Amino acid sequence: MIKTNRFLVFFIFIYFIILANSFTICYAGEPIDKALKTVVIDPGHGGRDIGAKGPQGSLEKDVCLELAQHIFSYLKSEYNVILTRSADYAVEIRDRAAIANHYKADAFISLHTGGSFQHSASRIVIYTCKPGSGQTAPADPNSPRVMWNQLHSRSAMLSRGFAELMKKAISDIGGAPPKIRKAPLRVLQGASMPSILIETGHLTHLDTENTLASQDRLRAYARAIANGLESFLAIDTGANFSSAKGIGAKK
């Protein structure tokens, strides 16, 4: 009987350790400094979800994490920077935007590197979220869904401006300028703040795999993405929304 109780206590102990770790993993990062703006960077895939695989064996989940860690190192002194994962483990798609919402992030970026979308081999593509269709709003203007739709349409406009600024920052490092596209991306759909997904080429192409294997090139991409984020965060979107609309205009 005593032996059984010991086992029970042991298993309960292990259960709480696992529970505590899963919470830490989901919401890993430095404590939030309320005086600073907050960005959430999402390295795509993780754990058994490897993403795309290069001809020489590079994995999308590893490249995305490395890129995210470089961006983190460039921004951490001036912003709260939260990674949705800081090592190789799985994070549910819906939890990625939920982490950004939890922290009330000012911007959310999901990083990918090929495999999921049809596009040219080497060009970087910046995606904004194309909202799902067929949703009819209820009549009550104070209903949560109407308020969510308003928040979402405001974020969609700012996301377009965010994508334009990111395109400029990435173009500054040379190579073909990134394309901006819209897609119904689940990872962005739940985010209540300006959000983009950046796909840094197609890892399944040998040229892209070699480019991303170069630490110099990966750091250059990270620096450019950090610059794009800083350009966007410098705009006071909350205090002056009408002037923020201008950043979405086509250049």
Would you say 42 or 164 has its CB closer to Zn ion? 42
Q: CB of residue 220 vs Zn ion: minimum separation in angstroms?
A: 21
Secondary structure in 3-state letters for the chain: CHHHHHHHHHHHHHHHHHHHHHHHHHCCCCCCCCCCCEEEEEECCECCECCCECCCCCEHHHHHHHHHHHHHHHHCCCCEEEECCCCCCCCCHHHHHHHHHHCCCCEEEEEECCCCCCCCCCCEEEEEECCCCCCCCCCCCCCHHHHHHHHHHHHHHHHHHHHHHHHHHHHCCCCCCCEEEEECCHHHHCCCCCEEEEEECCCCCHHHHHHHHCHHHHHHHHHHHHHHHHHHHCCCCCCCHHHHHHHHCCC
Would you say 51 or 194 has its CB closer to Zn ion? 51
- Would you state the structure tokens that stand for residue 2, as one six-digit string? 């005593």
Q: CB of residue 79 vs Zn ion: minimum separation in angstroms?
A: 24
Would you say 51 or 54 has its CB closer to Zn ion? 51
Q: CB of residue 81 vs Zn ion: minimum separation in angstroms?
A: 21
Q: CB of residue 217 vs Zn ion: minimum separation in angstroms?
A: 19
Q: What are phi and psi of 172, to 5 degrees?
A: -65, -20
Would you say 112 or 202 has its CB closer to Zn ion? 112
Would you say 204 or 231 has its CB closer to Zn ion? 204
Q: CB of residue 244 vs Zn ion: minimum separation in angstroms?
A: 29
Residues that bind Zn ion (CB under 5 A): 44, 51, 112, 116
Would you say 110 or 155 has its CB closer to Zn ion? 110
Q: CB of residue 136 vs Zn ion: minimum separation in angstroms?
A: 32
Q: Which residue is nearest to Zn ion (CB)?
A: 112
Q: Are 105 and 39 in contact (CB under 8 A)?
A: yes
